Chain A
């Protein structure tokens, strides 16, 4: 059935009652309204009365939902929490990471410089900047550096064999003391071994340590036989230089 814009006759008969229209429009109620219509008016008034207690019990839950809704700015309540100020506010995280990396790199470089493992030019530079040891074999001014070989200069001037480029007459090991006789094994030999035939003994003597060492000294080996090279043992070491 089409919905005509004007009310049908049936609708007019129903809605023609001024009492009903007045009730719905909440206008003044006509004085001649039927009593039952007045009662209906009272019912409608009760429907629109103020809130009863049980009609306001859900407010807490509604407010909780309102507070927790997303994307709505909430008014600031109470004291603001103090923000911890950064120690270096100018430094961003990236800058701080870069600084830390630079510090670590410098520390590694300094460690390498002090252990002398850097290339010579870099080592020289490190020596100038941070006072690291010089490169291997280089003289240092005003410093008594121990050479890599660990030799302590007997005259206090040299740092080792060839350190200054001048022959010092020291042994290859850097020892400046005269080399002992071939028979010397570190201890002055005052006893002759039974097997000793006067020849330079190559056998370890009882006084020797467990490791076999040549009877000649640790210094320069001598090529000159001892005067007593005929085989007769001697108790006196032949001075040899």
Chain B
């Protein structure tokens, strides 16, 4: 991934233009999906679902799949009325997912919490150990699990900035904080990640 000059490789999902993924063709894809094109909707879904899952697996790991599924149900219902560019589209996706995750959290809080051994192993949060970090290339799942070790606000902000591709102002509106607080949370989260890697003794 790293070139000789230390340049960061291009974002796999980005075209380097302000966080957009579909890019210039977004308006056409959105319009087609609103008119009933399944291929266009599938394009939107494939673009947004992986990012949604990675985000929700950090903020609501036990119910990530359910939250994302309900998010798309709501998006489908409101698809015809959506107006905006790709930034607004992604903001809408993640705002909906965040609200669904909060609803699930409230429902869980009302119900008595079960013991951890009742949770299926696949849903338990996994923190990659140092050996994994050292030996194998950091996979997406491991990266998500590592981020889940951060404080919730820091992890959420990093995911919304990096994975969702939202700018600071949009993230601030989404999480209900000031843009300055968002910047601080993001930087602190990244610094904490670096410290965690240093503590694990991972070096290049």
Contacts and interface: CB of A to CB of B under 8 A. Distances in A.
B191 A61 contact: no
B187 to A, nearest CB: 5
B8 A28 contact: yes
Nearest to B146: A43
Given A39-B194, A44-B162, A71-B80, A24 B186 contact: yes
Contacts of A14: 184, 187-188, 191
B193 to A, nearest CB: 5
Contact of B50 (A43, A52, A63): A52
Given A11-B183, A29-B6, A48 B11 contact: yes
A175 B14 CA distance: 118
B202 A39 contact: yes
B135 interface: no
A33 to B, nearest CB: 7
Interface stretch (B35-43, B94-102, B105-113): B35-43
Contacts of A24: 161-162, 186-187, 190
Contact of B76 (A11, A22, A66): A66
Most buried by B among A14, A15, A46, A75: A46
Given A23-B190, A65-B76, A11 B11 contact: no
A167 interface: no
Contacts, number: 166
A29 B6 CA distance: 6
The binding surface of chain B is classed by DSSP as helix
A55 B49 contact: yes
B180 interface: yes
A55 B187 contact: no
A42 B128 CA distance: 15
B144 interface: yes
A46 B77 contact: no
Taking residues whose C-beta sits less than 8 angstroms from the other chain, chain A's interface range is: 35 or more
Contact of A31 (B6, B138, B162): B6
B143 A59 contact: no
A199 to B, nearest CB: 111
Contacts of B54: 47, 55
Interface in A19-59: 20-24, 26-31, 33-52, 55-56, 58-59
B16 interface: yes
B120 interface: no
A3 interface: yes
Interface of B: 1-2, 5-9, 11-14, 16, 34-38, 41-42, 45-46, 49-50, 53-54, 65, 68-69, 72-73, 76-77, 79-80, 137-144, 146-147, 158-159, 161-163, 178, 180, 183-184, 186-188, 190-191, 193-195, 197-198, 202-204
Interface of A: 3, 7-8, 10-11, 14-15, 17, 20-24, 26-31, 33-52, 55-56, 58-59, 61-63, 65-67, 69, 71-75
